[in-house]
Amino acid sequence: MRKGELTRAAILDVALDLSSRDGLEGLTIGLLADKMNMSKSGVFAHFGSREDLQMEVLKLYHHRFEQEVFFPAMKEPRGISRLQSMFARWVKRVSVEIASGCIYISGAVEYDDRPGPIRESLVAMVQAWQGALLRSVQQSIAAGDLKAGTDAPQMVYEMYGLILALHHDARFLRVPGSIERAQRGFERLIESYKNHATSTE
């Protein structure tokens, strides 16, 4: 990478940390410039506007989510093992974000009623992940791992609910054992939908 690209990448790393802590709306050029020991104009040289910076931060967050959660889980065979891997890796990422914050969750609060390109991108990214979960559930049904009558959208809804509850209880309420509760909740969810007629577990 050239020097300019390295500087841009370093700015984005710091911007992502700040956004995870303070939200995308809490990210300012001035604060970022202070953290980077740069002038505001120096930061602006890499990003045309504050909104451009916020969009790039969002893309970086989504890219890292895919690298840590989605792509490794796709190495598992289609069916319940892939679905379990997706959730386990998701929980692992959330467990790290208890200290830093989740841009998907904070962004949903910040942009729930604020139209614009950032909201549209954020919605598209979350929907893409929900779509991947839905396909995995459907594949688990097709493979015979889950009951034929399983309501796939309902199962995804319940999985998402477990993650939201985990983030809320662990980060906001500081409730000990929240990660284990989420894991047990998912195990109970899988058990309720599992096709025991074909299961070998």
pLDDT band at 201 (very low <50, low <70, confident <90, very high): very low
Confidence of residue 197 (pLDDT cuts 50, 70, 90): confident
Topology annotation, domain 50-193? Tetracycline Repressor; domain 2 (1.10.357)
- Environment class of residue 48 by beta-carbon count within 10 Å: exposed (0-12), middle (13-18) or buried (19+)? exposed
Rg (the chain; Cα; Å): 19
Percent over 90 (pLDDT), the chain: 84
Average pLDDT score over the chain: 93
Please report the pLDDT score of residue 56 as a whole number: 95
Q: Is the pLDDT of residue 200 over 70?
A: no
Question: What is the tens place of the pLDDT at every residue in 64-111?
Answer: 999 999 999 999 999 999 999 999 999 999 999 998 889 999 999 999
Q: Where are the domains of the chain?
A: 50-193
Look up residue 184 and give its two tokens: 């047990």
More confident residue, 99 or 61: 61
